Amino acid sequence: MKDKEQIEIIGDNHFSTNVETPLTTNAFVKSDDEKIGNIQCHFAKIMEELGLDLTDDSLSGTPYRFAKMYVKELFYGLDPKNKPKLSVFENKYQYKKMLIEQNITIDSSCEHHFLPITGHAHIAYIPKDKVIGLSKINRLVDYYAHRPQVQERLSLQILKDLQGVLNIKDVIVMITAKHLCVSSRGIKDKESFTTTIEYDGEFNKPKIRNEFLKIIGQEKILSSALN
Ligand SMILES: [Zn+2]
């Protein structure tokens, strides 16, 4: 176990060590129901330690609700069995220009504080032989977001998967998100947000990258003008 000061430093810097989510080898040996039962017990202990009276009607169901929410909702994306099927199709239209899926909702959690990360992902690729159903991109983002995450890793995991299924390098993933651990604790900055941008292939060319950024930017200006 690292000393407490080092633990704080890692948390506040949101330091990530690997593209893969660090998992134990036996991460999925237990069933979801078994995990929910165990987490329920552990969380009841945390609540008791905080001095909360679990016999109160309002609190008595909280450990179960908390455990179920963790396993089935917030962190369902840890389990590979929940990964969406990324069916791809032959590029029959021979559309070979940039395809952008933007304003995809990001609902994630910071792995250092287990607090929400919320924002948007904007993703583009330049198809060759294969195309992917548009909603599959949203589903892939949702899957990787529902893990304890760091934003950089989330961007990379999405990028690498799309490159793999489409068999191309030409993918860009941009995420803008607010981190509750920055806005509600620590520095308590309510206004700042974090942008990560990962890309490869054609998007290494500034002209192509700027085309993407321009479209994303224009959309932002449009939506703020409309609201
Ligand atoms: Zn955090």
CA dist 80 and 36 (Å) reads 18
Q: How far is CA 58 from CA 37, 40, 208, 224, in A?
A: 19, 16, 55, 40
Q: Is 14 in the active site?
A: no
Q: Is 41 in the active site?
A: no
CA dist 144 and 155 (Å) reads 9
Q: How far is CA 68 from CA 32, 63, 64, 65, 100, in A?
A: 9, 9, 6, 5, 35
What is the distance in A from the centroid of ligand 1 to the CA of 150? 8
Domain 29-78: give its CATH architecture.
Answer: Orthogonal Bundle (1.10)
Q: Is the pTM of this model over 0.85?
A: yes
What is the distance in A from the centroid of ligand 1 to the CA of 133? 33
- Which position has the higher pLDDT, 172 or 16? 172
Cβ(132)–Cβ(162) under 8 Å?
Answer: yes
The 10s digit of each residue's pLDDT in 78-106 is: 999 999 999 999 999 899 999 999 999 99
* The pLDDT value given to residue 225: 56
Q: Which fold has domain 88-226?
A: GTP Cyclohydrolase I, domain 2 (3.30.1130)
The 10s digit of each residue's pLDDT in 155-170 is: 999 999 999 999 999 9
- Which position has the higher pLDDT, 85 or 224? 85
Cβ(119)–Cβ(104) under 8 Å?
Answer: no
The 10s digit of each residue's pLDDT in 105-137 is: 999 999 999 999 999 999 999 999 999 998 999
What is the distance in A from the centroid of ligand 1 to the CA of 148? 10
Mean pLDDT in residue range 178-199: 90
pLDDT tier, 4 (very low <50, low <70, confident <90, very high otherwise): confident
User: How many of the other CB atoms lie within 10 Å of CB of 156?
Assistant: 19
Catalytic residue among 14, 112, 122, 146: 112
What is the distance in A from the centroid of ligand 1 to the CA of 85? 30
Q: Is 110 in the active site?
A: yes
